Structure 1
Amino acid sequence: MPEIAVRKRSHDEAVQSQRKFFKKTARGKVLKVLRERYLRDDVPCGLSLCSLCDTEQALPSKPLLLESRLGHDSFPNGHFLLPDTNMDLFESQLFSPSIILLQTVMDEVRHRSLPLCNRLKTLVESDEKTTFIFYNEYKKFGFRDTAVVRIDGETPNDLNDRSIREAALWYQNHVKQAYSTVKRKERLPTIVLITEDSANRSKANSQGIRSMSVRQYVEGLQISDKAHLLDLLSAEPEEIEVAHTSELSTKTLYSEYLPMASLVAGVKSGQLYQGYFNANPYNYLEGSVNVLSFHRPVLIIGREHMNRSVHGDVVAIEMLPESEWKSSAEEVIDPEIFDAPSDLLKNDNAEDSEEEVDTTKLQGREETLIMESRDRISLQLQPTGKTSLVNSNNDSLALQTVFATPVSRLLPRIKLRTRQAPTLLGQKILVTLDRWSINSRYPEGHFVRALGQVESKEAEQESLLLEYEVPYRPFGKAILDCLPPEGAQWVVPPKDPHNPAWRDREDLRDLLICSIDPPNCQDIDDALHARLLPNGNIEAGVHIADVSYFVLPENAMDVEAAARSTTVYLVDNRIDMLPSLLGTNLCSLRPNVERLAFSAIWELTPNADVVNVRFTKSVIASKAAFTYEQAQIRKDDPHMQDDLTDSIRLLNSLAQKLKQKRMAAGALNLSSPEVKIHLDSSESSDPIDVEQKEMKETNSLVEEFMLLANISVAKKIQEVFPLTSVLRRHLPPPKGNFEKLQDILQKCKGLSLDVSSSATLAKSLDLCVDSQEPAFNTLVRIMATRCMLSAEYFCSGSVSRDTFGHYGLASPIYTHFTSPIRRYADVLVHRQLAAAINYVPLHPSLQGKAFVERTLENANHRHRMAQMAGRASIEFYVGLALKSRGNKAADQHVQEEAFVIRTFRNGLGVFVSKLGIEGLVTFKRDVKFDPEQYTITIPGSNGKDIVIKIFNKVTVGISVEKDKNTQRGKVKMSLTKPIDSSQI
């Protein structure tokens, strides 16, 4: 039990040592930490008619609360809602009661999920919602002088529930006093505590607090569209219990999840292993989990062993005995062949029998497929296991059962009960998963909202953003209020050392600085310069937009930027991390406009050896903004002899030498497919064509200096702040990741791949060439890239020093400094660098590891989601472009050359390099499949067998058809050469 000590600070303030604990530092030193909390009398209630509280202490951007405008059967005199949160309901435009949101609830949501907390903050700041945050943790209630603290045997959840009930009780008494002063005593509004915890409701009601579940509250609302709100709710515990009882007679399909205590103990003892579940995109009966203890991913075969896992879940797995280890089936197995029910809607009476028949059919077929995989010859058996726990990171009022088909094929159909079934047909909808019974093939969920008709561009765009958790709501008033009041008219003030904008800044406006970016770039966050020095060396500078001047720590804009963490680039849209006034204007290093910058300036020898580097806040005036192509033309034109062009040539010369040094140190030159979508210039912006992106020498010029800046800054901040530096690393991949690629190269091309180090891998990749096929080397590099681990942000004090390195760049230390407009990690690095050069003190939030770790965990997640959203957007628009191109073709499909990159028992995986897309060619008849040699053999029409193996070039026909899951256009491929797959 924590120690409590109270002493008076003033007439309205008391301080207590709320918690004492011991903390071990990274160096092993044990510190005693004593945290104090200050309790106040002047924390306002936020009620509009209250004359007892100091309303000036209320949130200035939000109006004070009047009793709820929503009519309710149980509260004729009005009411205030004090909730224990239901996000889906609160986000509905139909739901607009007067809400008192407790600090306890906000803290609980923040600890549970940072993205969820940010959604809640957005709602609080929204002008459409009437919400007031009550800081009950700092309120000195009349019936006690200390904060609520845990008592013996009380869990943290019980403590929070007690805090919420105390606040509700205080409000109930406070309303009586406040309303009596305005002669409203006979019409007192009710304080209504909303919670899904039945025990908490029972305790609240016994204390005289009006409490009910969300469903009970919604059912009493006097609104016409009550059915929509009811659909936003998950089943009540009582309903779930009834449903569970009705399922006891059906066959158990899955094992019960282990209790959390058993899981924690199992992982700690090494009996269980933790990781992310990755569904096999080709075979819905297989998945895998990457576990560091094993050199290959752990294979999970069959629905029973997957135990209701869905792609991306954090799972705990139990290893099977080595005698039961299996190999991958190497077969395309699509659930659509047997998946049921085929109808979207069916009535309740038919539900159980249909699912039972369906389950029996599926189980028989699935068992056959799994048994077949045991006898298949494969390169190597994989460690095999099973899942023990999943932790997932949505005209009549009559309920009907609906089966919703998820956008992702890696997810199962979702069963939901809704009162709006007829209106949902043909719609893209948002669904929340509620539970997955051990007796059902399908998880259960509830409807959140409709996005629009399938295939409409608006619905597809929004569904894509939701699918990859991209925060895309407009910036709220509180965020926009953080921008300079001058708006777009803001300019760098005249030079004055006493002006905050000029304090300790270097005036670099006379330097020949320019930017080089992709076409139509609006958020220009980097610019460069180079000039010869009298001693024969070269001064080169990278100048980065000084975003941290405008984005101040912990204000509303900073909190939102931290939550979004990155700008997301889609084909025809950009979801900004910061308001566009900053990203595309005040922080964009436009030509011939003075801008605030953070500069890294090196002195280098002609051979690109760094003599020294310095960092400074600066004011610059870029002289030009070039595209990569414009800079390339300028550099290559012998008639261009001006100083700016000479500067570009100087930068290019240094960049080439910097790259040579990186490659000599073992840096990898990897590849990923990049394409350019051509959009119609009309208002429709429809895609009309697609082609490969062309990389120019000037692309590499910019890349090399951005890498140099990031490495230089990383060294500086880690030197000054060894425990809290924001860094980025790329861990070496497990050697097992390359085993299959090594075997494929050896057997199909007679080439070897040495993966003992990044340097040997780089040399090996250089030697993977085919004189007859120039694109072969790029293909191998793309395949090698997919064997790598992902790079990640980390806090320097949280990992050992020998794991700091960036494998792909062959650098012992690295960070992100060069794109603060679009990456929040860079904003943190700017703050740390500013403190490292003594420009400003380090902000308290960056002095402890906890904040840095939590923020970077979110940054890593958002970065992954942004990448996937960008790829999905390209895939969507490539499909539209091909559909447009195919409609103009006589045979209604496009012919393109492709490389074979996978062989299956019943098909081929192919990669169309010109379009940067992969596809699947499937065969209806059996073919001869040799998994050891990665070949398939097809009988030819002339009696001669046709052998196809990985890396062979084939011709495919590409058409676009509606995908059953996504309802978007889906690329479909068929083989046309060396044989027509429609005949197989």
Structure 2
Amino acid sequence: MAVQSHPPITILNLNRNSNEHHYGAEAVTQKQYLRKTNRGKVQKLCREHYLRNDIPCGSSYCSDCQRILSTIQLGHGQLHPQDGTDQADRMEIEESSESTKKRRKILLLSESGRTGHRKYTNKHYLVLDTNVVLRQIDLLEATSFGTDLIVPQTVLDEVRHRSLPIFNRLKSFINETDSTGRFIRGWIFWNESRFDTHVRREPEESINDRNDRAIREVCTWYKAHLGSHKIDVVLLTDDRANFDKATQQKIQASTTKEYVEHMAQESAQLLLDLVASTGSAFESDDPNNAQKEKIKSNFYQEYLPLGQLQSGIQSGHLFQGTFRPNPYNYLEGSIFHDNFEKPVLLIGRESMNRAIDGDVVAVELLPREEWKSSTDDVVVEQDVVGAAEDPDPESAGSSLEEETEQKESRTISKTSKKTGAGTTSQPTGRVVGVIKRNWRPYVCHIDRASIPISALQSSLSAHAVFAMPLSRSVPKIRIRTRQASTLANQKILVSIDRWEPSSRYPEGHFVRALGIVESKDTEQESLLLEHDIPYRPFGKAILDCLPPAGDKWIVPEKNSSALWNDREDFRELMICSIDPPGCQDIDDALHARRLANGNIEVGVHIADVSHFVLPDTPMDVEAASRGTTVYLVDKRIDMLPSLLGTNLCSLKPEVERLAFSVIWELREEDSKIEAVRFTKSVIKSKAAFTYEAAQIRKDDSSLKDEISESIRLLNKLAIQLKKSRMDNGALNLASPEIKIHMSSSESSDPVDVEQKESRETNSLVEEFMLLANISVARRIYESFPQTAVLRRHNPPPKTNFEVLQDVLLKRRGLELDVSSSASLASSLDKCIDPDVPAFNTLVRIMATRCMLPAEYFGSGSVSKDTFGHYGLASEIYTHFTSPIRRYADVLVHRQLQAAITEAPLPTSMNSKSFVEKIMLNLNKRHNSAQKAGRASVEFYVAIAIKAKQQQQSSSTVPRTISDGDRPPTAFVSAEAFVIRTFRNGLAVFVSEYGLEGLIKFKEDQEYDGERYEIGVRRGSKAASSAKQGQEGDLGVVKIGIFDKVFVGISTEQDRSTQRGRVKMVLLKPIDSSDL
């Protein structure tokens, strides 16, 4: 952390005996810093920047630069100026027929340059500006945009500092080659390290102005350097000031939109859809556009300047938090802040002020007399707004838009007045600025109702349409496209470019089409993109890290290889694995045997992935980026190449494999640990069981073999370990888990859904994995107190349980004590309804939702008293047992090896800041993987329900209804439990399918917020189907939280938005089809 910076010192070292070319360093720039270390000491650091004259231009025309490149060593990636060894992607090695020496053929910027342009008719190279890369990355990535792009080092550095994801995308496409390795998108020119292109910052000159000047200097240098070859250089910039100064310097410059518009007609038509609106032209500087903006009235309030936001947050006048929309009411959102027990409410579009799910925002509180309560209504945008909105931005202020505003205003007035009896107001505010945007590419559908008739008749001009995001927490996005009619039945990827105060909706651009709606391939890719799951194939550099022997690799003979150093031989032990059916990536195996002293030796053996995944290799970098393996219903997105995950590292039976083992000596009577040790090992598993097969083997008393006895012994100890954990306050929570049956092993068509069954053997494996993780956590923290990779689960705020406590007390007369994890565990055990066996599971699911998520962290980044894992009632915890599928475990393996041997840790693992950075990514990837997994299950459950619908449609249908002009719909009937009540609907949980659904009524019903129930008035159909003698008024049926109901489930697709969804209606105790 730099606390002071001295002015740079430039030392010129001119070569007095210079000849035509200077390939050595010509100058050095030194920067001195004072840095405070973690221990509080101040260090003086000096960083040197060498300037040289041998940085090649990259053009095939230039023989001088070709000669420089011919002297460069082969390395990986693009040429780096400091060592000149990173150019392998630009070269191929050929064997000369005249000599055994190898000569290099360099793939550079082409001699033909960019041609066929209707404005810049001469062949030319294109120099990219920083703002173009940051805003137009989707366009630049498109191969149809062409090659011969020059990226100055100045741009590369700026992009890296401003957006690491875009920086990685830039590096990826700029090095892109075809299957022969001969096609190159562009060239990185290291201008900051070349003596005659490096520019120094002038006094009073801003960093941005200095960088723009450096980019223009690159254009000037290329123009002079290649002038004799008659090839032009064009600067691509969307910055008005940079454009004007380039023009003054006689540099050819173009905006992105102008350049694309004048490309070859066929390319331009499609590429214009990719041009981001924020940089497509100089809208803010165009007098016509400026006049239009003046005419428009702002729908939203302008954001406060960033400096004002930061000072307001520091002074306590403003409050920073992450914006989260209400999933049941699109006109309401909130942020959480430590200063308040309840979330700060944001009611109405104006108060949410262009915030999107996940944005970090600054909120100003309203006066206390204006505070309100969260509404008890389900408010769906389509029901309020309908299809009356015009996507054309020029329609702002039109009668349609005014009508929409009035509808939303009436809805807010209606719902905000109806606070339930006994409800109290909570902090209420408005967003006054965005600290950090959480925008990403969104999977969308084109709203059919927004496509103008003219778009169906001609594709020559762009039309404004609405793109409806798959995520209902994101507002619709206005895009312009020439492909509206073609894209109407497809899922597409859309990026947001900007959201101006005068626009009700954000503006964005089309990125690419994903495929036909409801096609399985399209839905799978959409799911991965929506949850930001990396699914690209492993590249050559990564695969080159695998053992050369491939699947023929075997453990070498003992004493014949250094691999056996510090590694024990456990090949004769009765080791077995127990996993779910079909498991191929077997991470763990176990053994148990009696010792002479009467104690039990138990071993947990984990795949030694860190032997194959070496630090800082391409495979390690990729695994760190992916973070985890993602499990979908019908496929797996691996963190590591399958050669490792399902073969060389997988602990298959009767195959010698490398392992990392934890060995305990336990007392048989109570499973107390007498001793524990850790060692690298070689094992040979004797069997691989499913949970069911292991359970059968354990229960069959006639089986007396060593493996069966070992399983029984492990199970006995596991029961004691679990009891000990529970006595210490560990929680036995629940989550909806189901199993989907496919029609065959080759098919991805689901035929049935059932709840997963948990057996004793599930618990057996879980207990010893938990014990291993805890034991390893203690060991690595002992050795690395500042950088140990750990996992914690913070205690939830007691306010998180307030609603659940109140519901249990009023609906069931049960008390939930949340004073400690032990009290909570005891209370949950008492939440039983003898008439409803599933009630306890339902309460545990609802309690789980009150918890905070567990997270990875570095031990030096938080206070030791916050290390604990609340759910497991353990003072310390980590992940060690699944390195094939979790990168955190790989790091823990490295730390454990360093702790028990002399093996050094990678230098980066001694840095707290590095560990923190890695942990942030792992937490993000873990969360995304969980969401993707759940979404995959929901998708296949919907397919299974649809198949059942079709079966019922062709036979006897239990219930049908008509909705407008649509044909009758067949329902799949299922038992459900009410988990939330609204004035106009119910949220229910269907355990059979693991589904949570919303039943929405057309009209408000009688609502009792105190009792968490609604009184549903009987309709004409209900009168004949509901039971007589219902408690209460004969015309009203009371339904509350925890009540068991029967629902009809169907699938449908919205004809306008193309969104598929599972729909539910109430069948019993009352038919809601006409409500």
The alignment's TM-score, normalised by the length of structure 2, stands at 0.85
Structure 1 residues 508, 337: closer, same or farther in 2, change over 3 A?
Answer: same
CA distance in 2, matches of 1:486, 1:211: 53
Residue aligned with 1:415, SS: strand
Structure 1 residue 952: Cα displacement: 0.8
Letter of the 2:536 counterpart: R
**Is the Cα contact below 8 Å between 1:118 and 1:560 reproduced in 2?**
no
Match of 1:369 in 2: 414
Instruction: Note if 1:924 corresponds to 2:1002.
Output: yes
CA distance in 1, matches of 2:33, 2:863: 25
Instruction: Note if 1:913 corresponds to 2:994.
Output: no
CA distance in 2, matches of 1:819, 1:862: 15
Give CA-to-partner distance per residue, 1:671-706, whole Å, 9 cap, x none: 110011112217541111111111111111111122
Superposed counterparts of 1:784-863, under 5 Å:
784-863=847-926
* Range moving further from structure 2, 157-166 or 815-824: 157-166
Structure 1 residue 51: Cα displacement: 2.4
Structure 1 residues 850, 14: closer, same or farther in 2, change over 3 A?
Answer: farther
Structure 1 residue 761: Cα displacement: 1.2
Residue aligned with 1:311, SS: coil
* Range moving further from structure 2, 232-241 or 623-632: 232-241
Structure 1 residues 245, 407: closer, same or farther in 2, change over 3 A?
Answer: farther
* Range moving further from structure 2, 199-208 or 399-408: 199-208
Q: Which has the larger radius of gyration?
A: 2
Structure 1 residues 240, 166: closer, same or farther in 2, change over 3 A?
Answer: closer
Match of 1:254 in 2: 300
Letter of the 1:59 counterpart: Q
Residue aligned with 1:61, SS: helix
Give CA-to-partner distance per residue, 1:613-657, whole Å, 9 cap, x none: 222222222222211111111111112211122222222222222
Instruction: Note if 1:318 corresponds to 2:358.
Output: no
Match of 2:401 in 1: 356
Match of 1:339 in 2: 385
Match of 1:91 in 2: 141
Letter of the 1:130 counterpart: I
Return the match for 2:1065 from 963, 974, 982: 974
Structure 1 residue 938: Cα displacement: 2.8
Instruction: Note if 1:428 corresponds to 2:432.
Output: no
Residue aligned with 1:273, SS: strand
Match of 2:555 in 1: 492
CA distance in 1, matches of 2:323, 2:31: 38
Letter of the 1:232 counterpart: L
Residue aligned with 1:79, SS: strand
Superposed counterparts of 1:290-689, under 5 Å:
290-342=336-388, 353=398, 355-373=400-418, 375-390=419-434, 391-393=436-438, 395-496=458-559, 498-499=561-562, 501-606=563-668, 607-681=670-744, 683-689=746-752
CA distance in 2, matches of 1:422, 1:738: 50
Return the match for 2:162 from 109, 112, 124: 112
Structure 1 residue 97: Cα displacement: 0.7
Match of 1:51 in 2: 66
Structure 1 residues 346, 983: closer, same or farther in 2, change over 3 A?
Answer: closer
**Is the Cα contact below 8 Å between 2:58 and 2:108 reproduced in 1?**
yes
Residue aligned with 2:868, SS: coil
CA distance in 2, matches of 1:665, 1:142: 70
Letter of the 1:577 counterpart: M
Give CA-to-partner distance per residue, 1:16-41, whole Å, 9 cap, x none: 57444444445544444443445555
- Long gaps (5+) in structure 1: 177-184
The alignment's TM-score, normalised by the length of structure 1, stands at 0.93
CA distance in 2, matches of 1:496, 1:174: 62
Instruction: Note if 1:215 corresponds to 2:273.
Output: no
Give CA-to-partner distance per residue, 1:799-831, whole Å, 9 cap, x none: 222222111111122222222222222222222
Match of 1:181 in 2: none
CA distance in 2, matches of 1:519, 1:124: 43
Give CA-to-partner distance per residue, 1:437-474, whole Å, 9 cap, x none: 22222111111111112122222111111111111222
Match of 1:60 in 2: 88
CA distance in 1, matches of 2:1053, 2:191: 54
Return the match for 2:6 from 2, 9, 25: 2
Residue aligned with 2:1049, SS: strand
Structure 1 residue 488: Cα displacement: 2.2
**Is the Cα contact below 8 Å between 2:115 and 2:121 reproduced in 1?**
no
Return the match for 2:334 from 288, 292, 298: 288
Residue aligned with 1:52, SS: helix
CA distance in 1, matches of 2:1056, 2:704: 58
- Long gaps (5+) in structure 2: 16-22, 73-84, 92-106, 442-457, 958-969, 1029-1033
**Is the Cα contact below 8 Å between 1:82 and 1:168 reproduced in 2?**
no
Residue aligned with 1:386, SS: strand
Structure 1 residues 549, 399: closer, same or farther in 2, change over 3 A?
Answer: same
Match of 1:950 in 2: 1041
Structure 1 residue 280: Cα displacement: 0.9
Structure 1 residues 15, 609: closer, same or farther in 2, change over 3 A?
Answer: farther
**Is the Cα contact below 8 Å between 1:895 and 1:957 reproduced in 2?**
yes
Structure 1 residues 785, 36: closer, same or farther in 2, change over 3 A?
Answer: farther
Residue aligned with 1:585, SS: helix
CA distance in 1, matches of 2:381, 2:1039: 26
Structure 1 residues 508, 874: closer, same or farther in 2, change over 3 A?
Answer: same
CA distance in 2, matches of 1:122, 1:779: 47
**Is the Cα contact below 8 Å between 1:531 and 1:538 reproduced in 2?**
yes
The structure with higher relative contact order (CA 8 Å, sep 6+) is 1
Residue aligned with 2:258, SS: helix
* Range moving further from structure 2, 606-615 or 53-62: 53-62
Letter of the 1:405 counterpart: M
CA distance in 1, matches of 2:26, 2:819: 63
CA distance in 2, matches of 1:124, 1:511: 53
Residue aligned with 1:261, SS: helix
Structure 1 residues 643, 913: closer, same or farther in 2, change over 3 A?
Answer: same
**Is the Cα contact below 8 Å between 1:674 and 1:693 reproduced in 2?**
yes
CA distance in 2, matches of 1:244, 1:641: 87
Number of residue pairs matched by the alignment:
969
Structure 1 residues 202, 714: closer, same or farther in 2, change over 3 A?
Answer: farther
Instruction: Note if 1:277 corresponds to 2:323.
Output: yes
Structure 1 residue 866: Cα displacement: 1.4
* Range moving further from structure 2, 423-432 or 155-164: 155-164
Structure 1 residue 491: Cα displacement: 2.3
Instruction: Note if 1:79 corresponds to 2:125.
Output: yes
Counting aligned pairs with the same residue, the percent is 56
Letter of the 1:96 counterpart: G
Residue aligned with 2:238, SS: coil
CA distance in 2, matches of 1:730, 1:88: 39
Match of 2:933 in 1: 870
Give CA-to-partner distance per residue, 1:200-256, whole Å, 9 cap, x none: 334445555544333233233336232211111112352356556424334432111
**Is the Cα contact below 8 Å between 2:607 and 2:884 reproduced in 1?**
yes
Instruction: Note if 1:935 corresponds to 2:1026.
Output: no
CA distance in 2, matches of 1:618, 1:819: 16
Residue aligned with 2:66, SS: coil
CA distance in 1, matches of 2:793, 2:205: 43
Superposed counterparts of 1:93-172, under 5 Å:
93-124=143-174, 126-128=176-178, 130-131=184-185, 134=188, 136=190, 139-142=193-196, 152-172=203-223
Structure 1 residue 279: Cα displacement: 1.0
**Is the Cα contact below 8 Å between 1:327 and 1:378 reproduced in 2?**
no
Task: Supply the RMSD in Å over aligned alpha carbons.
Answer: 2.7
CA distance in 2, matches of 1:725, 1:679: 42
**Is the Cα contact below 8 Å between 1:564 and 1:862 reproduced in 2?**
yes
**Is the Cα contact below 8 Å between 2:888 and 2:922 reproduced in 1?**
yes
**Is the Cα contact below 8 Å between 1:901 and 1:910 reproduced in 2?**
yes
Letter of the 2:1039 counterpart: I
